[in-house]
Amino acid sequence: MLKQVDLSRVDLNLLVLFEAVLAERHVGRAADRLSLSPSAVSHGLGRLRRLLNDPLFLRTPRGVVPTARAEDLSAAVADALARVRSVVASAEPFDPATSRRRFTIGAPDGVSAVILPPLLQRLRQAAPSIDLGICQLLPTRGETSVERAWLSSLLDLEACKLDAAVIPSDDVPARFAKQVLYEEDFVIAARAGHSFAADPNLDRYCAMQHLLVSVTGDGHGFVDRVLGEQGRTRRIALTVPNFLFALAVVAETDLLCALPRCFAATYAGRFGVVAIEAPAPLGRFRLNAVTTKAALMDEGLAWMLSLLSETRPASIQSA
């Protein structure tokens, strides 16, 4: 039989402190987040260490790092706090028409640019006082596994840095909930009148100069992996850090650029850029809105995820 724990002797605020230090990896930043002094956070950590019989966080020159025990506890603490917050929030039912909440959504920039216009339109109609924060999500550099590439986004959800993440990954752990938003593939963007549009075959594609969207400046992308499997290469003449910048450059040059179809359908026409069918299959994938199952006990967040799942890109709506 499990030993009964007298919760009257446990300060549950210590779990909030644990959550903040785990997220910030720094006592000072955790203190700012909680509106406490660094000494108060250090004192609370001391109490928590004694309570859980583990150092929990080890000091480094740049802050603190969690112990294995702290990492093991992270999901359970997040779940417990989500349940407590749900109980407190239930005292006043969530009403989107009057709510003044702020939700933080993470997504790659080519995705957020597609989902944001219709989402804002829905919010103006149903929840005019709700605010949004959009964070750019990036895959882990050099990671070839789609599932592992977006692991940092899942960790941000568990650390409550994000309310929801929209990622091109189907395989998420069981503790997360997901909703498919839309399917995506890639087209080739070129300026209007580009000679490639008249004969878009693979040989001509590989012979031309290309633009690659790469935040890090790395001149090798997923298209190069696809071409490599066929024994082919291409020249990356330029990298730029985001998709809108890519459209502006493509419009004024002879460079070609592989872009998400929905993104191109939404924005290419504004730049005088045309979308051409790719001369070889470049893959198709689903965009999923993901959050933790524990967080879905928050009525407001459950509503926001539902709204996201009902929001289709304008290019799909008009198709």
pLDDT tens-place string over residues 98-137? 998 899 999 999 999 999 999 999 999 999 999 999 999 9
**CATH 3.30.70.60 corresponds to the domain 102-183+289-317:** no
- Return the domain boundaries, the chain: 8-89, 102-183+289-317, 184-284
pLDDT above 50: residue 319: no
Q: Which two tokens stand for residue 211?
A: 């633009």
Nearest to 290 by CA among 98, 77, 137: 137
What integer pLDDT is reported at residue 316 of this predicted model? Answer: 63
What integer pLDDT is reported at residue 87 of this predicted model? Answer: 66
Provide the 3-class DSSP secondary structure of residue 5: coil
pLDDT band at 290 (very low <50, low <70, confident <90, very high): very high
Provide the 3-class DSSP secondary structure of residue 151: helix
Q: Which two tokens stand for residue 226?
A: 């696809």
- Find the mean pLDDT for residues 274-278: 96
The pLDDT > 90 percentage for the chain reads 66
**CATH 3.30.70.920 corresponds to the domain 184-284:** no
**8-89 has which CATH code?**
1.10.10.10
Strand partners, 235: 209
Euclidean distance between CA atoms 18 and 74, whole angstroms? 9
- Find the mean pLDDT for residues 56-85: 88
215 close to 241: Cβ distance less than 8 angstroms: yes
The string of DSSP letters for 166-232 reads EES-S---TTEEEEEEEEEEEEEEEETT-GGGGS--HHHHHHSEEEEE-TT--S--HHHHHHHHTT-
Residue listed under structure tokens 């959050």: 291
> Do 184-284 and 102-183+289-317 fall under one CATH topology?
yes
Nearest to 288 by CA among 157, 140, 144, 121: 157
Q: Which two tokens stand for residue 304?
A: 């926001």
Rounded to a whole number, what is the largest CA-CA distance in the chain? 76
